[in-house]
Copies of this chain bind each other. A is one copy, B any other.
Amino acid sequence: MTARSSSETTRVIPEATVARLPVYLRALTALADAGIRTCSSEDLATAAGVNSAKLRKDLSYLGSYGTRGVGYDVDYLRYQIAREIGVTQDWPVVIVGIGNLGHALANYSGFRSRGFRVVALLDADPERHEEIVAGVPVRPFADLEAIAREHAVAIGVIATPAGSAQDVADQMVAAGITSILNFAPAVISVPDGVDVRKVDLSIELQILAYHEQRKAHEHARVDADDHGAAALAVGGDA
């Protein structure tokens, strides 16, 4: 009996699709809050900011939860996506590094409302161990393993400076954490089987700057060409 022989069919959902499922979930929640019971793929796609072909293709990886000629039942589809993502269950989370960003993350209401429960805030600085942030006391970083084991924490958030990120990641892995959300501006390496996602504020701004610069060049180039055309017209008179 091999793992492959299991009765459960392992659907493989493309990574690009996985990344959009939470967007659909949020859009469905907004529709439900607006009292809408049924929607077409076109409606939902608009609410989620994608085109309807992509939405239908994405949903097709989960199953057939719509009705041809009718559309989707908002609550039903919402539940199916939530179940697929795993947000119908509770996910204990620890945040390491309680500076400005750590504070903001600890206070972020969007976590708790989606099943993420901040069970501990950790910081290496003893000065911070008096603090209570968002109702949770800040504890020494050394307590990580005990806390992670006690609460069966699977997800850790790194909000430390870049220099500490790898060490924190190593300790998280040692404590049995297998998913890491890294806000530190540093590349961290982890063993196979551990997932890391990276959010980098200054990288996002730099990507925008690149496009902004291209727009500026494009305008300058068009302007220069306009002047060229004008000069040519004037030159014709000379």
Chain A residues in contact with chain B, CB under 8 A? 1-3, 5-6, 8, 18-19, 21-23, 25-27, 47-49, 84-87, 89, 91, 93, 99-101, 103-105, 107-108, 110-111, 114-116, 154-155, 178-181, 185, 187, 189, 193, 195, 197, 199-213, 215, 217, 221-222, 224-225, 228-229, 232
Contact = CB atoms under 8 A, between A and B. Distances in A.
Nearest to A84: B210
A86 B179 contact: no
B85 A206 contact: yes
B225 A21 contact: no
A2 B232 CA distance: 13
Given A26-B185, A100-B103, A208-B155, A213 B114 contact: no
Q: Is the interface of A mostly helix, strand, loop or mixed?
A: helix
A215 B108 contact: no
How many copies the complex holds: the figure is 2
B209 A87 contact: yes
B91 A212 contact: yes
Given A204-B199, A212-B91, A189 B6 contact: no
Contacts of A116: 202, 205, 209
Contacts of A222: 3
B104 A207 contact: no
A40 B197 CA distance: 26
A178 B49 contact: no
B108 A210 contact: no
A5 B179 contact: no
A119 B158 CA distance: 28
6 contacts: A86-B212, A110-B185, A110-B201, A110-B202, A111-B201, A197-B208
A157 B189 CA distance: 30
